Amino acid sequence: MVEATRGPVLIFMFGATGDLARRKLYPALYELFRKDYKFAVIGMARRQHTHESYRSMIDRTLNPSADQRRRFLKRFYYQPLDIGNPNHFVLLKNISDQIDSQYHLKGNRIFYLSLAPRFFGTATIHLKKSGLTETDGWKRLVIEKPFGNNLASARQLNSELLKVFDESEIYRIDHYLGKEMVQNIEALRFANPVFESVWNHRSIANVQITLSETLGVGDRANYYDQTGALLDMVQNHIMQLLTLTAMEPPSQFDPEDIRQEKVKVLKSIRPMSRDNIADKIVRAQYKAGVMPDGTRISGYHEENNINETSDTETFVAARFFIDNYRWTGVPFYIRTGKRMATKCTEVVIEFKDIPNNPYFHKFTHIGPNLLVIHIQPDAGLSLKLNVKQFSDDGETSPVSMNFSRTGKSKNVVPDAYERLLSDCLKGDSTNFTRWDEVAYSWALTDSIVATWNSVPLDYYEAGTMGPKSSDKLLAKDGFRWWPLTRME
């Protein structure tokens, strides 16, 4: 295991006035400050700010009850910066040396690039040329997705970063890996022999991973229409959930051993070809409909800045197979989409029925055993069992054993970004994506993109759980999507 070592560190916040920084990063840093993490921050963006106006902007992002805000805000400084101007990085070097000395930060540095990916290479090259990466302490680079838009572009981007940083210094962040129940998947499996002993093709009928959204494209229309659901959600978030669910137990719980097992899963996923893709994937786009709360929604083509002839998918469902001994023959179904009936992320493990089980003939209310890992909006678990009713007729009925932290724990569950920033400050890369993970995920995605134009674009009404063709994808194997609600 990685030994926890907290800073101190100087954090360089590129994109310091952006939406991500204001909504997620500053509140997360405040919580870490309250937990005695030692750092100072230089915020950078093209926008003009003084130190004081920058601190006022940050102050507005904090909870009104934040009791240490004054001490926290004093550690923030601002430097206007144009990524393409090398002279600005020389100025940044000067102020960073002063702050490093003032707070005794020992030359430790984190460069957080909350930028469009096209700026990653330019920023890192200027960091090196200005001497900012030459330090007596450690250095780490944190970058947001998307990491490229296909395997070729991802390789090019990675080669640019490796000119300045070692692979061990690059932290590719996927905020889903910071969520409570995503991190709990490992504990659920490996700390409970009752589950690990049946976590294989002999006991599991299928696995379902759903990431559904009620929102449309909003102000991301220009980006989303060039990307779609496959690149926006499947290539990263869903692949991370799949690998954590399917991975083998690591030989030891070291970051590299854990990430190596995830890579093995990606390497084992059967690629798609033009001959079989029509039976394994559904692509669809939402049209006008009514949300469960009665709100009428226009179709995708009526969204602002969307071309009326766009065939970009807002929904993807797929059936994957993992060609190894543990999962031979077990279908992994995934789906994700916008303007769906509910906002929910969960993993459903459906267990096999017992062959020739007489109880399935005697009783009428027996269903499969299901283990449901609820990731959002509520974090928890549900285990669905069949039990005898307390009645004379002895009929059975399905019941669920539920566990949820929501409203039942005095402990505050850290935000995903707080967890991941904490890991980065400690040098724990377990929940960050290694380059070969990115590469194998893109290789699989590219195999889909190369052939799925032969799959007709389907449509679904806003406010539903997707097109009928998504249901048929499971029905071919005798399965169904399970409801996205906590089972009673």
* Residue of 120, 51, 37 lying closest to 83 (CA atoms): 120
Using a 10 angstrom Cβ sphere, with 0-12 exposed, 13-18 middle and 19 or more buried, the burial of residue 147 is buried
Q: Which two tokens stand for residue 363?
A: 């009783």
Which residues contact residue 20 at a Cβ distance below 8 angstroms, ignoring those fewer than 6 apart? 114, 144
Query: Residue 263: what are its φ and ψ, rounded to 5°?
Result: -65, -40
Integer angstrom CA distances of residue 291 from 93, 286, 299, 326, 471? 52, 12, 12, 40, 20
Q: Specify the length of the chain in residues.
A: 488
Strands of 344-351's sheet, edge to edge? Answer: 396-404, 380-388, 370-376, 344-351, 204-212, 331-337, 315-321, 281-287, 458-461
The answer to whether residues 185 and 373 touch, using CB atoms and an 8 Å cutoff, is yes
Q: Which two tokens stand for residue 39?
A: 């750092």
Residue that the structure tokens 């994957």 belong to? 320
The answer to whether residues 109 and 171 touch, using CB atoms and an 8 Å cutoff, is no
The answer to whether residues 419 and 27 touch, using CB atoms and an 8 Å cutoff, is no
d(CA 432, CA 255): 9
The answer to whether residues 281 and 320 touch, using CB atoms and an 8 Å cutoff, is no
* Residue of 237, 214, 232 lying closest to 222 (CA atoms): 232
Give the SS3 label for residue 80.
strand
d(CA 89, CA 108): 18
d(CA 111, CA 405): 34
Residues with active-site annotation: 237
Which residues contact residue 230 at a Cβ distance below 8 angstroms, ignoring those fewer than 6 apart? 283, 313, 316, 445, 448, 449
